Amino acid sequence: MTGATTFRDAVRDALAEEMDRDPRVILIGEDVGPAGGVFQQTQGLYDRFGPVRVIDTPISEAGFVGIAIGAAMAGMRPVVEVMFGDFLTLGLDQIVNQAAKVHWMSGGQFRVPLVIRSAVGVGGATGPQHSQSFHAWVAHVPGLKVVYPSGPADAKALFKAAVRDDNPVIFFEDRMSYGAKAPVGGPEDVARLGESAVRRQGSDIALIGIGRMTALALEAADRLADDGISAEVVDVRSLRPLDVEGLTAALRRTHRALVLDPAPRAYGAGAEIAATLQESAFDWLDAPVGRLGMSEGPVPFAPALERLVLPDATRIVQGARELIGR
């Protein structure tokens, strides 16, 4: 492991290392070139790799996502940046009806080794059109892989795995985690997609976090420990493929689970995980699998109201106590 690196720099370094390793890897998106990205997440790449491999685009998600799909089918390995996760909606036809289906519809004659990275999350007073996370939308589509790391080390190792994968991968980055620091791996530290990770061991309840919810779950686990409650914290990391075996193992150890989703609870990824656990580990349950998610409604601009939208450690503690019956 190297020294402490921010989440933002971990993904940028992973991309730079993969561009060094494979000349087929290119970066496409809005303001990814000389501007260095709206969150400075591509800073320095244009100077290092030039305008042929770091390509600024017009404001047309459907256009540049479609171009990237064609490039992937022709043998390139494009990384597409969709500035905010909300704007995935503008490229959904290309993502859902083309990228996800080309391999199947061509009888395996074409592959689409494509990564679409996008910043999501609540915070920074960006309002209802720049604060959503549509991970459940794309995870619903067969043919796509969906990754949602929680910290710098995973962000780097999982991003490298996504670039090397021969399938289209949607890679979500919570922009409120961009400044988080932690040691990261070297150029050859590549994760496997589809594996969850236990961040803290426990025996009374499993707190299963998606993205930034994992860090909040760790904070909640500390507070629960003060009350004599042992909480295991599991980081989902990959929504498709989902590590059913790993998540089920956590439930077998704890017999209770609370799934934490940074998106609205209804029809969400947390619901899928909860249903899967109910099916795969019903005999081990001492209580129904609980779910906690973002408030149902558009995200407000006002910082004071915005802070009420995403579950915090206090709400996680309350949810865990209710499941345990304390």
Q: For position 8, what pLDDT does the model report? A: 96
Cβ burial, residue 108 (10 Å; 0-12/13-18/19+): exposed
Q: For position 198, what pLDDT does the model report? A: 98
Q: For position 294, what pLDDT does the model report? A: 93
- Give the position of tokens 């209770």: 256
Give residues with Cβ within 8 angstroms of 228, minimum separation 6: none
Q: Based on the domain organization, do 252 and 319 belong to the same domain?
A: yes
Number of other CB atoms surrounding residue 104 within 10 Å: 11
pLDDT digits (tens, 9 = 90+) for 85-96: 999 999 999 999
Rounded to two decimals, the pTM is 0.95
The answer to whether 167 touches 194, Cβ cutoff 8 Å, is: no
Q: For position 123, what pLDDT does the model report? A: 87
Residue 104 lies in a domain: yes
Is the peptide bond prior to 142 cis by the omega test (within 30 degrees of 0)? Answer: no
The answer to whether 311 touches 293, Cβ cutoff 8 Å, is: yes
Give the separation between CA 145 and CA 274, rounded to whole angstroms: 20
Q: For position 1, what pLDDT does the model report? A: 73
Number of domains in the chain: 2
Give the separation between CA 148 and CA 172, rounded to whole angstroms: 5
Q: For position 124, what pLDDT does the model report? A: 85
Q: Based on the domain organization, do 179 and 210 belong to the same domain?
A: no
The answer to whether 182 touches 152, Cβ cutoff 8 Å, is: yes
Q: Mind telling me the catalytic residues? A: 61, 130
CATH label of the domain that carries residue 31: 3.40.50.970
Q: For position 3, what pLDDT does the model report? A: 78
What is the mean pLDDT of each successive set of 10 residues along the chain, which is 326 residues long? 90 98 98 93 96 96 97 98 95 97 96 97 88 95 98 97 98 95 94 97 98 97 97 98 98 97 95 96 95 92 89 96 90
Give the separation between CA 217 and CA 261, rounded to whole angstroms: 11
Residue 192 lies in a domain: no
Structural domain for 300, as ranges: 197-324
Residue 80 lies in a domain: yes
Q: For position 223, what pLDDT does the model report? A: 97
Q: Based on the domain organization, do 34 and 156 belong to the same domain?
A: yes
Q: For position 257, what pLDDT does the model report? A: 98
pLDDT digits (tens, 9 = 90+) for 150-168: 999 999 999 999 999 999 9
CATH label of the domain that carries residue 313: 3.40.50.920
Q: And the tokens for 22?
A: 């494979």
Task: Rounding to the nearest 10 degrees, give the CA dihedral for residues 203, 139, 135, 12.
Answer: 90
Residue 191 lies in a domain: no
Nearest to 80 by CA among 131, 180, 91, 134: 91
Radius of gyration of the chain (CA): 19
Q: Region of 29 please: left (phi>0), alpha (psi -120 to 50) or beta.
A: left
Crossing angle for the helix pair 213-226 and 313-324, to the nearest 10 degrees: 60
